[in-house]
């Protein structure tokens, strides 16, 4: 089972994207803000962080940096309203980005790519 921590402040988007992410081999835990994500990350092990960049309070990029402090090899997927073509490596080696306006097939393809890159212990 691959566990995803998904952070999105818009409830409708959060529910819709979480349903698209669902698969038999995935556990999706969705929360509305970075602070809730950090609280959960202290009590459970997640394989991948998926977060919107624009969040109330701590941004998704700040959340990713905190998430990666514990293990820089962790995987992160950032959702943005605009293209992020550079600077991702400065956050971490396994940080990817997708436009929030992505098609479900694009999201699934990205998740599969991340899952292939995960250590075999979670595959």
SS3 42: coil
Cα 80 to its chain centre, rounded Å, is: 11
pLDDT in tens, 59-106: 999 999 999 998 898 999 999 887 776 778 889 899 999 998 899 999
Contact assessment for residue 96 and residue 110, using Cβ atoms and an 8 Å cutoff: yes
Q: 84-89, long-range: CB within 8 Å, 24+ apart, which pairs? A: 84/53
Note the pLDDT tens digit of each residue in 37-64: 999 988 889 999 999 999 999 999 999 9
Strand, coil or helix: 12: helix
């Amino acid at each position: 089972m691959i566990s995803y921590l998904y952070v999105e402040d818009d409830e409708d988007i959060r529910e819709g994207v979480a349903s698209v992410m669902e698969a038999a081999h995935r556990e999706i835990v969705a929360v509305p803000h970075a602070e809730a994500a950090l609280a959960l990350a202290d009590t459970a092990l997640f394989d991948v962080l998926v977060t919107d960049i624009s969040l109330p309070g701590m941004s998704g990029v700040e959340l990713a940096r905190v998430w990666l402090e514990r293990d820089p090899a962790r995987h992160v997927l950032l959702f943005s309203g605009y293209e992020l073509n550079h600077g991702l490596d400065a956050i971490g080696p396994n940080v990817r980005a997708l436009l929030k306006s992505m098609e479900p097939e694009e999201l699934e393809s990205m998740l599969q790519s991340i899952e292939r890159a995960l250590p075999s212990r979670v595959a």
